[in-house]
């Protein structure tokens, strides 16, 4: 119940803010979606400067209109993305919804950054 209350309050804060992008690491894949680590986004949206170890994950829905590209502008497909890729996700406001107690956004554009391994 606490998680649900947190998510609902976060959605309200997000809908009222100008924040329309998040930056994080791909943690997993699903059908037409990716899960991205979004702890920094959550803390920023909630005006929290906490250094807690809570790892938040956001569901990013990918539609036919979503553009997926590299940082140099080359178009890539969802199949070309990998776990641990660093991405920046841009979305419309307000697009957050509660789905399985995770924040969910519909991506307009995803930029994939080169791994520095």
Q: In which domain, by residue range, is 21 found?
A: 2-113
* Residues 13-38: tens digit of each pLDDT: 444 445 589 999 999 999 999 999 98
* Residues 38-80: tens digit of each pLDDT: 888 877 777 766 666 677 889 999 999 999 999 999 999 999 9
The Cα–Cα gap between 103 and 116 comes to: 28
pTM above 0.85, yes or no: no
Q: Please state the domain count of the chain.
A: 1
DSSP result, 35-71: EEE-HHHHHHHTT---------EEEEE--TT-EEEET
Q: Are 36 and 87 in contact (CB under 8 A)?
A: yes
CATH, residue 92: 2.40.50.140
């Amino acid at each position: 119940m606490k998680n649900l209350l947190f998510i609902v309050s976060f959605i309200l804060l997000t809908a009222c803010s100008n924040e329309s992008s998040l930056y994080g690491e791909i943690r997993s894949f699903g059908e037409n979606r990716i899960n991205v680590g979004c702890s920094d986004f959550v803390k920023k949206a909630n005006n929290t400067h906490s250094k807690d170890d809570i790892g938040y994950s956001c569901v990013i829905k990918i539609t036919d209109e979503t553009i997926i590209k590299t940082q140099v502008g080359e178009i890539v497909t969802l199949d070309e993305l990998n776990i641990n890729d660093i991405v920046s996700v841009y979305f419309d406001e307000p697009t957050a919804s509660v789905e399985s107690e995770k924040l969910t956004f519909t991506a307009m554009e995803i930029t994939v950054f080169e791994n520095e391994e």
